[in-house]
A and B are shown apart, each in its own frame.
Chain A
Amino acid sequence: MIKFDSVTKAYNKVLALNNVNLEIHKGEFLSVVGQSGAGKSTMMSLIIGEERPDEGQILIDDIDIAAIRAKDIPYLRRKIGVVFQDIKLLPMRTAFENIAFALEVSGEKPSMIQKEVPKILEMVGLEEKSKAFPHEMSGGERQRVAIARALAHKPVLLLADEPTGNLDSINAWEIIQLLLKINKAGTTVILATHAKDIVNSVKKRVITLENGEVVYDQEKGKYVL
């Protein structure tokens, strides 16, 4: 589904990714681990077309992302859900409105939004928090709203960049359980994380990045750094 073919990316002559070759299959749950600056976030940015590789190709379903015209990038992003450590919810909007926002920008009809958002909220277990504002929710709940928003367009791929970074272990584990549930429903999930316990207990494929290079790629792997 996603193929990194000799991908190199540098910022101000500092290599963030160095000749990365990688293949991620449809329906896979992949954990990307590595220390800060290892290249995890760069990998995410390249997949959503926010950055372009200096060398090599990134293919999503055989389409070269670098070849996609700038005006078509938004349509690619509707196929890829993204979740961040700092959550990025709109503070003046309720949980419902934050999720609806994703559908509004793509021109969905209000009737469709009214029908779909409760379903997504239910999926992430927040149907009771529909009218709650971000400041009225716990960190875990806010992150679940962010995941719900990422799922609004029914993406084929979900990127989670340190989604548990600001959460306690119970909330973090709940978020991982939710990601596993989403993966089980057929969505490919790429999880970039530092959390050793989580990676070890998930027992899914793990790739380890070090100085921009893939140093380990293990099926049912462990956090080895």
Chain B
Amino acid sequence: MTKTITTRRVVRSAVTNFFRNFWVSVAATSMVAITLFIISTILVLYTLAVLSISNSQDKVGVITAYFNDKTTDQEMADIKAEVELLPNVREVIFISHEEAERRFRERHKDNSILISSLSEFEKPVQASLSIRSEDLNNYEGLYNELKSQRYSAYFDRVSDTRVVIEKLSRIIDFITKFGIILALIFMAVTVMVTFNTIRLTIYNRREEVEIMRLVGATNWYIRWPFIIEAMMYAVLATLIVSIVAFGLLYLLSGSIEEFLSLDSLGTNLINALFSRIVIVNILASLGLSILASYIAIRRYLKI
């Protein structure tokens, strides 16, 4: 009973103080929120990049060889049959001009200028062979075979998807390094701002603290309101950033799918990302705020 009463009084004291120094509290909360927003952005970028790379890795075994316009339909059929017999080939799919054009129109249906320009060419989109190798180790040999002189008369170009994978890996690497550095800088700034806010609060309440000591308040009765106040910055900041993050994820999911050539982000992925953001944010903000307030009270609150 006594514990409940004391807890209620400590929390009330923290809440009163939060509103008594309203603008200082707003500044501290904003700083925590900015840091959380940066952490969330990094988290989303990282998750999507990893997702994208795994998505691309599925396609890495597929080499697309584009026929030049001089190749006849019969030659294309012969080449397909021949390639099917090459070692380490698992599957060969022929995509005709018509099918390639249909897919192109479907993909760019919103871009009327691009679609209308198709009529300018006789065969605007090339026919191709999609060749899947047995496994990634055979990829290079197969790629070199298709690029060899034997096929150079028929194929205009042969795509090498390894470049995409390497590029994505570099992007992930950059996001990870840059993100971690940025997050660490903002975390340090957040700790400093929260630390200073609590120090200011301790200074503002020095008379009250002194009287509390004199009348026999326990150390934690004096300390807890400051820690709870810092935790309030954390919780409020998490709430704000979570709402903003959910809104942005919901609004931008379509564009993200298109940009990263993902089939669909789906509601599950948005939910998973959102719950990850909330968990990381609450842990980071509470951790940083408690750390900052604890350092401040250890240093400036004489008990």
Contacts and interface: CB of A to CB of B under 8 A. Distances in A.
B215 A149 contact: yes
Interface residues of A, number: 24
Contacts of B221: 105
B216 A75 contact: yes
B93 to A, nearest CB: 76
A74 B208 contact: no
B171 interface: no
What are the 10 closest A-B residue pairs judged by CB atoms, nearest first? A78-B216, A105-B217, A102-B215, A77-B216, A107-B2, A107-B6, A74-B216, A74-B218, A82-B214, A105-B212
Nearest to A86: B207
B207 A88 contact: yes
Nearest to B219: A71
B207 A153 contact: no
A77 B218 CA distance: 10
B248 interface: no
B211 A90 contact: yes
Given A90-B207, A107-B2, A70 B303 contact: yes
Given A77-B213, A105-B216, A90 B6 contact: no
A171 B303 CA distance: 33
Interface in B166-214: 207-208, 210-214
Interface string B1-36: 111011001000000000000000000000000000
A88 B5 contact: no
A70 B219 contact: yes
B203 to A, nearest CB: 16
Contacts of A105: 9, 212, 215-218, 221
B192 to A, nearest CB: 28
A106 to B, nearest CB: 6
A104 B9 contact: yes
Nearest to A48: B214
6 contacts: A74-B216, A77-B214, A77-B215, A102-B216, A107-B6, A150-B215
Nearest to B205: A90
A153 B216 contact: yes
A106 B303 contact: no
Quick one: which of B1, B212, B216, B219 has the most chain A CB within 10 A?
B216
B215 A88 contact: no
A13 interface: no
A135 interface: no
B40 to A, nearest CB: 40
